Structure 1
Amino acid sequence: MSDEKTEQQWQAELDPETFRVCRQGGTEAPFSGSLLHNRENGHYHCACCHEPLFYSDAKFDSGCGWPSFDKPISQDSVQYIEDFSHGMHRIEVRCSHCGAHLGHVFDDGPTDTGQRYCINSVSMSFESDKTEK
């Protein structure tokens, strides 16, 4: 991780909900995220450090209430951490660059990868591929 900032620096830079989710491992309410129904072509980036995380063509509607992807841009763009919170065993997904909490990955995806990256909207920003003519 190359973004070595203090919690105070992150708190000053991020809005309260983004700080709670990304820096404190929270979760946004299901079906509340601004990127849940986004169907534009483009790239999803980390809300904290703006590193690219997912391509729009990897996004699908899983019905779980959070944006879902079947793979990250590269395996180096995210890191995986075992999560035993809430009486469950899950795999947490974090940004490899700054360590921001993104969500979790599950082995029940409908595509050939078999993966469902369940990612908080607030932990990402979106950059459209649309170019102005």
Structure 2
Amino acid sequence: MNNDRRSFIGLLLAGTLTPLASACGREAAAKESFPFSLSETQWRKRLTQAEYRVLREEGTERAYSSPLNEEKRSGTYACAGCGNHAFSSRTKFESGTGWPSFYRPLKGGIGTDTDYKLGYPRTEVHCARCGGHLGHVFDDGPAPTGKRYCMNGVALDFIPGPA
């Protein structure tokens, strides 16, 4: 292994490059336009502090902290920022991770991007309407998709009714 590669790996493991990669990802996302847009002041007035941290600053809520993790009724899960319908209760499953999980989003509900916050690429999930950060998608979900859309409950609102 040469010194340049060893230095890069050392910086990566130390977390030095993670903020740089994260900032680059946020900059790219900020340039993308969405059908629903507000100023930062308007977002702060519209959202709770916890919602703002997750949806606008790409935070993650503590596992098992959301009541939506235990929600069993029929209905729709919508973006807490703009109300865009993102997931149906029909596709929700118990993943054992502590976050509401789904195997398929609703058509037009989400978008994805690459996130390097942990130093390696992950697929970030955001609202297709406002760009709010919802969570991540992984390839360890159930049939028929094999996907696990692991969402922050604070980023979603549950709307009871037909799914």
TM range (shorter): over 0.9
- Corresponding residue for 1:97? 129
TM-score by length of 2: 0.77
Give the strand-richer structure, 1 or 2: 1
Name the Cα RMSD after superposition. Answer: 0.9
TM-score by length of 1: 0.94
- Corresponding residue for 1:30? 63
Answer with 81-90 or 96-105: which moved more: 81-90
Which runs of 5 or more residues in structure 2 are unaligned? 1-33
Distance in 2, matches of 1:88 and 1:4, equals 29
Secondary structure (helix, strand or coil) at the match of 1:104 reads strand
Distance in 2, matches of 1:72 and 1:98, equals 16
Which runs of 5 or more residues in structure 1 are unaligned? none
Runs of 4+ in 1 over 4 A off after TM superposition: none
- Corresponding residue for 1:14? 47
- How many angstroms does 1:2 deviate by? 1.3
Matched, 1:72 2:105: yes
Give the helix-richer structure, 1 or 2: 2
Distance in 2, matches of 1:109 and 1:43, equals 20
- Corresponding residue for 1:106? 138
Larger gyration radius, structure 1 or structure 2: 2
Q: Deviations over 1:32-81 (max 9, x none)?
A: 0120010000000010100101000100000011000000011x221110
Matched, 1:123 2:123: no
Q: Deviations over 1:65-110 (max 9, x none)?
A: 1000000011x22111001111232100000000000000001102
Secondary structure (helix, strand or coil) at the match of 1:66 reads coil
Distance in 1, matches of 2:123 and 2:84, equals 21
- Corresponding residue for 1:54? 87
Query: Identity of aligned pairs, percent?
Result: 43
Secondary structure (helix, strand or coil) at the match of 2:118 reads helix
Count of matched residue positions in the alignment of Structure 1 and Structure 2: 129
